[in-house]
Every structure is written in C-alpha cells, then in structure tokens.
Amino acid sequence: MKQSKRERVARIETEARRLARSGRFLSSRSIEQALLAGGFPEAHEIFRNLWTHSELNRLCEQAARRASDALKLAAA
C-alpha cells in the first residue's frame, strides 16, 4: 500500500532526527541536503519550519558534545 503524504513526511522527520543524533552532521542544512540526495524530495516541506531547524541543530550540537566528551574520556 502506498504511503500517504502525511506518513511520508512523518517518516522524513523521524529520519532527520536520527541523522541529527548520529553525530555525522553539523546542522539542519546538511541533514536537509542528505535527505534530498537520499531520495526524499518532500524534505523541503519539513525544513520550511524554523522550529524544525532549531530542533535538528540542537540535536546535532548534543551529538557533537557527546562525541567530544567521549574522546576526552578515551584520552584520559
């Protein structure tokens, strides 16, 4: 069964959060580009919302902080 547009957008939002938490992205902009390149043309829709940018940027910062802390612990 084909997904509705709403279901597809929800899936993209979930994937965007997963990418942000992965620590491989620095900002919402890089996540948007990755989603577009990954075959999610509807990604533009979720990135029209400034709250989405803010949330994803916050998750990226948290992931970067965790990675940095882990490196510091490993070096100690």
Residue ranges of domains in the chain:
5-75
pLDDT in tens, 2-57: 778 889 999 999 999 999 999 999 999 999 999 999 999 989 889 999 999 999 99
Please check whether residue 11 is in contact with residue 3, taking contact to mean a CB–CB distance below 8 angstroms: yes
What pLDDT is stored for residue 1 in this prediction? Answer: 60
Using only C-alpha atoms, what is the Rg of the chain?
14
Distance CA 17, CA 44 (A): 15
Q: What angle do CA 15, 21, 46 make, to 5 degrees?
A: 40
d(C-alpha 16, C-alpha 35), whole Å: 8
Is 31 in contact with 25 (CB distance < 8 Å)?
yes
